[in-house]
């Protein structure tokens, strides 16, 4: 019996653009002989369910599975809190010919607890990022991104570094309200990244005394522009992530952290999505 697969699973100051999407739907299998799908159930419970024809509803929203999906096709869905994969496989082997029964752990249908979004362990990673700074508008800040062995014993890492300047180039025709910022923005993904199964974005990084955010719950994200929070009312949709960006600013930060113009350097190992 083939199980329906769940949808593919979803930093410093901002994580890209998000847009609305339609709810996930579970493909309905064609009508067939009655089955019993025992999620996280032991073999004995599965056998009893086959014998008695039980139907026990369960809240499996995270898997995108509903009772209606199976009831319309004479399916029996059961959810219990015991058993393991081995007992499920035994039940399947015993009853596949007669009853098409299957017992399995619900964890086997769930996405992993963490997922790499970016991993800065290869020079190919450079192709996935675009650098920006106030120099595009007449400022004098600069930034670079390279993949190198940072000497920390962890192998290759991304080195995002540069200089923050609050000055403006002489003769500039731009009318800047604020300077002193640099950033790195991911290039367009091939489609979207779906992080709907996760609740947190995390980074492993080593800083330089400035204030860098390393872990942010997705529900805490706020719309930003050049590192500043804006008042626009935008709802984030973690199932359709268009991109991610990290920014460094001369102004702001927590008390005691390094701030103001000058050099900056951040080592980044990876960016992950977590389910905590």
pLDDT per residue of the chain (276 residues) written in tens, 0 to 9: 333 333 333 333 333 322 223 333 334 444 333 444 555 455 555 555 555 544 443 333 334 444 454 444 334 444 443 444 455 455 445 544 444 444 444 454 567 889 999 999 999 999 999 999 999 888 999 999 999 886 656 688 899 999 999 888 887 777 777 788 999 999 887 778 888 889 999 998 888 877 676 788 888 777 776 556 777 777 778 888 888 888 888 887 666 677 889 999 999 999 999 988
- Same domain for 249 and 127: yes
> What pLDDT was estimated at residue 264?
92
Residues counted in the chain: 276
- Short-list 9, 13, 10, 8, CA closest to 216: 13
> What pLDDT was estimated at residue 140?
92
Spatial separation of the C-alpha atoms in residues 104 and 7, rounded to whole Å? 19
- Same domain for 202 and 80: no
Domain count of the chain? 2
- Same domain for 250 and 139: yes
Give the structural domain span for 60: 35-99
- Short-list 222, 226, 233, CA closest to 182: 226
Burial 94-121 (b: 16+ CB within 10 A, else e): ebeeebbbbbbbbeebebeeebebbebb
> 45, 76, 99 — which closes off a domain?
99
Partnered with residue 217 across adjacent β-strands are 200
- Same domain for 119 and 90: no
> What pLDDT was estimated at residue 82?
43
> What pLDDT was estimated at residue 253?
65
Instruction: For residue 241, tell me if it sits in a domain.
Output: yes
- Same domain for 156 and 58: no
Instruction: For residue 216, tell me if it sits in a domain.
Output: yes
- Short-list 259, 6, 266, CA closest to 110: 6
Q: Yes or no: say if 161 and 268 are a contact pair by the CB < 8 Å rule.
A: no
Cα 201 from chain centroid (whole Å): 6
DSSP-derived secondary structure for the chain: -PPPPPPPP---SB---B---PPP-PPPPPP-S-EEEEET--HHHHHHHHHHT------BGGGTB-HHHHHTTTEEEEE-S---HHHHHHHHHHHHHHH-EEEE-GGGTSPPSEEEEEE-SSGGGGGGEEEEEGGGGTB--EEEEEEEE-SSSS-EEEEEEEEE---B-TT-----S---EEEEEEPPPSS-B--TT--EEEEEEE-SSB----EEEGGG---EETTEE--------TTSB---EEEEESS---TTSB-SSEEEEEEEEEEEEE--
Burial class for 88, CB neighbours closer than 10 Å (0-12, 13-18, 19+): buried
The model carries a pTM of: 0.59
> 99, 122, 142 — which closes off a domain?
99
């Amino acid at each position: 019996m083939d199980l329906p697969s769940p949808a593919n699973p979803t930093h410093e100051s901002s994580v890209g653009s998000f847009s609305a999407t339609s709810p996930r739907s579970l493909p309905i299998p064609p009508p067939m002989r009655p089955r019993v799908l025992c999620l996280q159930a032991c073999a004995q419970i599965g056998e009893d369910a086959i014998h008695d024809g039980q139907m026990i509803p369960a809240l499996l929203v995270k898997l995108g599975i509903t009772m209606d999906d199976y009831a319309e096709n004479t399916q029996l869905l059961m959810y219990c809190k015991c058993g393991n994969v081995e007992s499920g496989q035994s039940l399947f082997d015993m009853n596949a010919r007669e009853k098409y029964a299957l017992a399995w752990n619900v964890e086997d249908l769930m996405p992993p607890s963490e997922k790499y979004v970016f991993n800065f362990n290869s020079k190919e990673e450079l192709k996935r990022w675009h650098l920006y700074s106030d120099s595009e508008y007449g400022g004098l800040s600069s930034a670079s991104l390279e993949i190198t062995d940072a000497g920390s014993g962890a192998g290759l890492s991304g080195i995002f570094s540069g200089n923050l300047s609050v000055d403006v180039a002489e003769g500039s025709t731009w009318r800047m309200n604020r300077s002193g910022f640099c950033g790195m923005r991911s290039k367009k993904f091939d489609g979207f990244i779906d992080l709907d199964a996760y609740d947190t974005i995390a980074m492993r990084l080593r800083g330089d005394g400035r204030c860098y955010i390393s872990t942010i719950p997705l529900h805490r994200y706020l719309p930003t522009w050049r590192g500043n929070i804006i008042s626009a009312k935008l709802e984030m949709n973690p199932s359709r992530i268009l991109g991610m960006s990290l920014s460094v600013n001369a102004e702001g930060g927590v008390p005691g952290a390094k701030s103001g113009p000058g050099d900056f350097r951040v080592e980044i190992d990876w960016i992950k999505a977590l389910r905590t």
